[in-house]
Chains A and B, each alone.
Chain A
Amino acid sequence: MSEKTYKPGNYPDLPPPPGTVGVYGWIRKNLFSSISNSLLTILSVVLLYYLIDGIIGWFFFDAVFDADSKIACRKIDDGACWAVITRRVGQFVYGFYPEAERWRIDITFLTMFVAFAPLLYPDIPKRKWLLYFSVFYPFFAFVLIMGGYFGLQKIEYSLFGGFMLTVILGVCGIVCSLPLGILLALGRQSNLTVVRTLSVCFIEFMRGVPLITLLFVASSMLNYFLPPGTNFSILVRVIIMFTFFSAAYIAEVIRGGIQAIPKGQYEAADALGMNYWQKTRFITLPQALKISIPGIVNTFIGLYKDTTLVVVIGLLDPLGIGRAALADTKWNGLSTETYLFVALFFFVSCFAMSRYSLWLENKLNTDKK
């Protein structure tokens, strides 16, 4: 093949050779680059076909969605017996919250998205107005869930359970631990010896103790450490422990972010006459938090899943509800279905957090826009 000649400086931009880009190029490069690679691809496809066929059958086509008991299920078909979930879905979602009052939980849950929207999406229209709602939301949610005001029936916290309990613990823990973690991270970097020492002690203690120990402390001993006369409900005590625990981790993650900021950034801010709080607010934190997003979300996901540990101090999280269902003679032995359902709930929540963090990272990436 003869190469065309061009005058120096006139060489045109040519398209890449055919078969190296696009869908066809991708398939050839990734799936059929050599004989062994092609064989592996075909083998994997065959394997996947048989595997997926069986799994989907068990999950959907051979599954029973409504029946009175496990035995009734088996009589209908031999797939999964989802009746254990569908018959008890109310308990899985609301715990033992009175059925007539469950609309309160629904409203709180739905309005939560409105309250979070302006915090999570800075470009949302009418953000300023929505932010007022976000500030007001915790009180609104508290009153609605607990009751006792405005003629709402007061509900005992001991009736809380299921996914509702997970979301309450998880969301409260996450929302409270981020600001506390930021303060601890700043405290650890502070020039003031007292502040620094206190922050280091708090972080090291919280990280050095198993969460389950802290939960036992919360359930049995926390009242000894608090001023006399204060008496928090177990729910608040557990939230405090979750907050402290994950704040310590978040503080360390953010400290890593702070230390990754080049010294020149502070020098530039100093040279412009900015004081400590201005530097922290406009230079340090925006950059440190951006770097720390993966670590922070990692901690949040950990916290969210750790809420299942409350089962050891007698709170009925979804796993506790699941175990109660399995203890019922009608549903004995359906642990696969029960635990898969609970796992699915956690997976959906955590996957959403993970996708949000990816989106945020991309949005804040100012280098390649």
Chain B
Amino acid sequence: MVVNKNKSSKPVIEIKEMHKWFGNFHVLKNISLGVNQGERIVICGPSGSGKSTLIRCMNRLEVHQQGDIIVNNVELTGDLKNLEVIRSDVGMVFQSFNLFPHLTVLENCTLAPIWVKKLPKKEAEELAMELLTRVKIPEQALKYPGQLSGGQQQRVAIARSLCMQPKIMLFDEPTSALDPEMIKEVLDTMIELAETGMTMLVVTHEMGFAKKVADSVIFMDEGEIIEQNDPKNFFNNPKNDRTKLFLSQILNH
């Protein structure tokens, strides 16, 4: 396990009694959660449990109807000015990569820094190349996403988010759409990112990653946080019956 020296007690995300509905369907129920700077949290749970929706609420890709979400001391409301500030501080990596297919890898990485952060083009390109080197694909910079493998695309997506120099990174099942051979390269990239002290919230079923990197593991079911604990206790002594059942299903096959 990587020892987290970067974790501090300064909260960067605070969620208080937050609820969300899709129409009449109550997807998130009374969620309260604090994330400190440098903390790495893994969220797991059966499909439909609301874990993706939860992290999508943190940069307002989904709108919550009740309760508060405070990111970097800014409350998430309908105010567009606040929203753009928060979004450029919070990076997100998606299950389906969502790279822009009409732009090269390099352009994917520099688009938002140039236009949202108003970085000069040359600086943005230098930064992008540095980050593409960090995710180990600088040689693909001038190719289009369609020419890369899934694992490479996901690493580009990580680099693209990092180009905005975010304070927090959200990962929404980053390895679920990948072949087994490619999962490792993406997880390795994420582990290296964790070692730099990035605050990370990761929705994943990769329990090996959780054991190795997470400071805390959250188990969600039917829109509720059922259990939250450090990985050692979470995996060895789960308290809740549903957690036990879930762990037995995903660990013993």
Which A residues form the contact surface with B (CB < 8 A)?
262, 264-265, 267-275, 278, 282-283, 286-287, 290, 364, 366-369
Query: By the criterion CB–CB under 8 Å, are A278 and B101 in contact?
Result: no
For residue B98, CB closer than 8 A to chain A, the reply is: yes
For residue B22, CB closer than 8 A to chain A, the reply is: no
For residue B111, CB closer than 8 A to chain A, the reply is: yes
Min CB gap A362→B, angstroms: 14
Q: Which residues from chain A contact B100 at a C-beta distance below 8 Å?
A: 265, 268-269, 282-283, 287
**Bound complex: CA of A45 vs CA of B83, how far in Å?**
69
Q: Which residues from chain B contact A271 at a C-beta distance below 8 Å?
A: 59, 61, 87, 90-92, 94, 161
Q: Which residues from chain B contact A274 at a C-beta distance below 8 Å?
A: 111-112, 115-116
For residue B144, CB closer than 8 A to chain A, the reply is: yes
Which B residues form the contact surface with A (CB < 8 A)?
59, 61, 80, 84-85, 87-88, 90-92, 94, 96, 98-103, 111-112, 115-116, 144-147, 157, 160-161, 164
Min CB gap A285→B, angstroms: 10
**Bound complex: CA of A270 vs CA of B90, how far in Å?**
11
Interface-centre pick from A262, A268, A271, A364 (highest chain B CB count, 10 A)? A271
Which residue of the partner chain B has the closest CB to A267? B61
**Bound complex: CA of A287 vs CA of B99, how far in Å?**
12
**Bound complex: CA of A326 vs CA of B91, how far in Å?**
72
Q: Which residues from chain A contact B80 at a C-beta distance below 8 Å?
A: 275
Apart from A272-B88, A369-B144: 17 A-B pairs, beta carbons within 8 A: A264-B94, A268-B100, A269-B112, A270-B59, A270-B61, A272-B87, A272-B164, A273-B87, A274-B115, A275-B80, A282-B111, A366-B101, A366-B145, A366-B146, A367-B144, A367-B146, A369-B147
- What would 22 A/B residue contacts be, using CB atoms closer than 8 Å? A262-B98, A264-B94, A264-B96, A267-B92, A268-B94, A269-B100, A270-B61, A271-B87, A271-B91, A271-B161, A272-B88, A272-B111, A272-B160, A272-B161, A273-B87, A273-B116, A273-B164, A278-B116, A366-B101, A366-B144, A367-B101, A367-B147
Which residue of the partner chain A has the closest CB to B113? A272
**Bound complex: CA of A272 vs CA of B61, how far in Å?**
11
Q: What 6 A-B pairs are tightest by C-beta distance, nearest first?
A: A273-B88, A268-B98, A272-B112, A273-B87, A367-B146, A264-B98
Residue of A265, A273, A369 touching B112 (CB-CB under 8 A): A273
**Bound complex: CA of A278 vs CA of B100, how far in Å?**
13
Residue of B102, B112, B144 touching A290 (CB-CB under 8 A): B102
Min CB gap B156→A, angstroms: 12
Q: Which residues from chain B contact A290 at a C-beta distance below 8 Å?
A: 102
